[in-house]
Amino acid sequence: MKKDKIVCRCKEITEKEIIQIIKKGIVDIDGIKRALGTGMGLCQGKTCTPLITKLISQITGIPIKQIKSQSSRSPVRPVPVRIISELE
């Protein structure tokens, strides 16, 4: 039996899992991220995003340049109010 390839090493998400999501109609990086959690590990998608993009292209025939990339957001941390008031 052939072992399934791990595409997202941080979250241990396999190629088979990603293909199943693509076949359900989710064909953008953010959609796959929401469905499976890819790109949310330590590498923040630097390793798996290109591999997932290639899979989407192979399965759907959509050119790589037309596949919507991952949205980036700055990390947010709570700040105590006293720190903000000290800045004024």
Per-residue pLDDT at 81: 81
Report which of residues 3 and 4 the model is more confident about. 4
Mean pLDDT for 65-82 is 79
Report which of residues 4 and 19 the model is more confident about. 19
* Fold exhibited by the domain 1-64: Arc Repressor Mutant, subunit A (1.10.10)
Q: Give SS3 for 34.
A: helix
Per-residue pLDDT at 82: 81
Per-residue pLDDT at 2: 63
Quote the CA–CA distance of 55 and 7 in Å, as a whole number: 10
Per-residue pLDDT at 75: 67
Average pLDDT, the chain: 88
Quote the CA–CA distance of 50 and 66 in Å, as a whole number: 13
Give per-residue pLDDT as tens, 27-51.
Answer: 999 999 999 999 888 888 899 999 9
Domain boundaries, the chain: 1-64
Mean pLDDT for 66-81 is 78
